[in-house]
Amino acid sequence: MHPARAWRGRSQRYRLEGEICEGCGARLFPPRDICPECQRPARTPYPLSGRGEVYSYTVVYEPPAGYEEQAPYIVALIRLEEGPLVSAMLTDVGPEEVYIGMPVEMVTRVLHRQGEHGVIAYGYKFRPVLRRTVMLPSPSAPVTA
Amino acid sequence: MREVAIIGIGQTPVGEHWEKGLRELALEALEAAIRDAGVERLDALYIGNMLSGQVESQEHLGALVADFAGMHGVEAVKVEAACASGAAALRIGYAMVAGGLADFVAVVGVEKMTDASGEAITAALATAADAEYEAVHGMTFTALNALLMRRYMHEYGYRREDFAPFSINAHRNAVHNPCAMLRFPITAEAFASARMIADPITLLDASPVCDGAAAVILCPADQARAFQERPVRIRASAVATDTVALHDRRDPLWLEAVALSAYRAFQQAGVRPEDVDFFELHDAFTIMAALSLEASGFAPRGRGVAMALEGAIFRDGRLPIATMGGLKARGHPVGATGIYQVVEAVLQLRGQAGPNQIPNARLGMTQNIGGTGATVITHILEAMD
């Protein structure tokens, strides 16, 4: 990928920045400038939360050129909580653990590399939502003596 | 508008043509079609092709094939619409004759895929998807179809094995097609245990990578009899588009461009789905066959697979499909496929389909799908009395 092309997509790839239609309020990702719902201009940037759930998924055993190192890998359609579907790889999860409806969240990872001297393209992938860590009081510190 | 007829057909066997390049394949099909039509001159030549730039580093196929065929000076251009390139070229040829801009037009679909490695072809085919938002995430064409198939199974409660009749039917029909690539029958057991490509899609859900070329000759229908005893009339020619990216569709399991293109074709021809005697559909993957049957109006939503399980798609069924092997077993040389479908439909309508002949076939439909349904081109063909 040419560096300018990777740079041009930085807001979408790194921040999952979509657009909101000022006409009907539809939230769009990827950005498409004309709202598919009401055909009016939709050029106001709108960052998406990155939270959603798995709509469908598959495991790629025969990768295209440039993705051989990662295969087999999981790609999915994610239904974002704001509405849009997005195509992305799943990460930090095995194929046997994924299910339709699984809650996932966006993370930033390497999408692909082009040899030793090429651009390393970063972008969004999705992982299962991490459980919130609950801080418990230490049992070795009794309140009373 | 003038009525348009197909007066000549030609095809090379589909397969791995190590000894032939793009131009040789295209010429072989074109010469066969010209011989079949018995025409002396051509006014224009349209080439349907998707991958020549990526696989052979060769674009500009209009001039290339015209030159190689010795048709110096003739109007010739390449038409591209991913896997629907073949039918897209036919659409242009049809419009030229119907509109009176040309009388005798050749349309050739040609594809050369076996000169590239598997990884390179997988990457090349993915250019039919959205490069910025699908392919960059490692999406392959098989993966996109697998996403559809898994969701379909989830919503309608089918098992993977339920898709077997599509492939069993295609392979059974390919046995008697001398131009088919995979001329052997397969069993339900083989289908169930086939190698996984992109879960739940296996090798036996998917059409093979291959080379091939097919051609048709068009002319005004009122002149057709001077050249061909059994001409075939193009009753409808309809193109529709949808979002390139699967994720941009409101409902990924409903192929809106299929519905629009089929609806427009039925309107043009003034016929209904039940009038169609056979359907050469775009079974690049079993899931595409199911979704095409549904959105075209041959099966209710979620019942495309049930229609196959009931046997309605077999040669003796209500709506025979893939009658000469389909994409699955004849092979899917992507940019040529749309013309292979039409050549096979013409064979059926002429009564020249051999052991695969559909009795009394009068009206046939072909449908060529680009990408995951972003370009859909439907033709309805009729035997001329």
Chain A hits for B246, Cβ within 8 Å: 77, 85, 87
Name the β-bridge partners of B154. Answer: none
- Report the CATH architecture of B123-206+232-383: 3-Layer(aba) Sandwich (3.40)
pLDDT tens digits, B74-83: 999 999 999 9
The minimal CB distance from B137 to the residues A85, A89, A100 is found for A89
Q: Which residue has the tokens 């309020």?
A: A25
Same CATH topology for B4-117+210-226 and B123-206+232-383? yes
Residue B193: what pLDDT? 97
Q: Where are the domains of chain B?
A: 4-117+210-226, 123-206+232-383
Restricting to A residues 22-41, those with a Cβ less than 8 Å away from any Cβ of B are 30, 32, 36
Question: Which candidate, B377, B379, B149, places its Cα nearest to that of B252?
Answer: B149
Question: Which candidate, B170, B142, B149, places its Cα nearest to that of B283?
Answer: B170
Restricting to B residues 99-118, those with a Cβ less than 8 Å away from any Cβ of A are 117-118
Residue of B17, B83, B171, B379 marked active site: B83
pLDDT tens digits, B209-230: 999 999 999 999 999 999 999 9
Q: Could you count the other beta carbons within 10 Å of the beta carbon of residue B346?
A: 25
Higher pLDDT, A5 or B170: B170
Residue A140: what pLDDT? 57
Q: Where are the domains of chain A?
A: 3-128
Question: Which candidate, A52, A70, A60, places its Cα nearest to that of A16?
Answer: A52
The minimal CB distance from A57 to the residues B123, B147, B245 is found for B147
Q: How big, in percent rounded to 5, are the helix, strand and coil portions of chain B?
A: 40, 20, 40
Task: Give how far Cα A20 sits from Cα of A117, A124, B92, Å.
Answer: 38, 20, 38
CB distance from B209 to chain A under 8 Å? no
Name the β-bridge partners of B379. Answer: B237, B366
Query: Which of these CATH numbers, 3.40.50.1000, 3.40.47.10, 3.40.1190.20, 1.10.357.10, describes B4-117+210-226?
Result: 3.40.47.10
Chain B hits for A66, Cβ within 8 Å: 123
CB distance from A95 to chain B under 8 Å? yes
Share of chain B above pLDDT 70, in %: 100
CB contact under 8 A, B148 and A60: no
pLDDT tens digits, A95-145: 999 999 999 999 999 999 887 888 889 999 999 998 766 666 655 555 554
pLDDT tens digits, B267-311: 999 999 999 999 999 999 999 999 999 999 999 999 999 999 999
Residue A131: what pLDDT? 74
CA distance A73 to B307: 33
B17 is catalytic: no
Residue A145: what pLDDT? 45
The minimal CB distance from B196 to the residues A1, A61, A67 is found for A61
Q: Residue B384 is which amino acid?
A: M
For residue A35, the chain B residue with the least C-alpha distance is B248
pLDDT tens digits, B311-328: 999 999 999 999 999 999
Nearby residues of A24 by Cβ (< 8 Å), 6 or more positions away: A35, A37, A38, A40
Given a cut of 90, whether residue A3 has pLDDT beyond it is no
CB contact under 8 A, A70 and B146: no
Chain A hits for B117, Cβ within 8 Å: 65
CA distance B283 to B277: 18
pLDDT tens digits, B127-139: 999 999 999 999 9
Q: Could you count the other beta carbons within 10 Å of the beta carbon of residue B269?
A: 23
* Burial of B181 per CB tally in 10 Å (0-12, 13-18, 19+): buried
Q: How far is B372 from chain A (nearest CA, A)?
A: 14
Residue B385: what pLDDT? 80
CB distance from B132 to chain A under 8 Å? yes
CB contact under 8 A, A68 and B120: no
Find which of A58, A75, A80, A114 to mutate to test the B interface (most B CBs within 10 Å of its CB): A58
CB contact under 8 A, B123 and A88: no
The minimal CB distance from B119 to the residues A61, A64, A125 is found for A64
**Mean pLDDT score, B243-254:** 97
The minimal CB distance from A64 to the residues B123, B133, B196 is found for B123
Q: Residue A26 is which amino acid?
A: A
CB contact under 8 A, B137 and A121: no
CB contact under 8 A, A68 and B119: yes
Task: Report the greatest alpha carbon distance in chain B.
Answer: 58
Residue A1: what pLDDT? 75
Name the β-bridge partners of A34. Answer: A41
Least confident of A21-30, B104-113, B337-346: A21-30
Residue A130: what pLDDT? 87
**Could you give the angle at which helices B164-174 and B286-295 cross, rounded to 10 degrees?**
100
B332 is catalytic: yes
B180 phi, psi to nearest 5 deg: -80, 155
In the structure encoding, which two tokens stand for residue B149, read together?
């198939």
Chain A hits for B247, Cβ within 8 Å: 77, 84-87
CB contact under 8 A, B151 and A89: no
Note whether B70 and B49 are within 8 A (CB).
Answer: no
Mean pLDDT of chain B: 98
CB distance from A55 to chain B under 8 Å? yes
- ipTM comes to 0.95
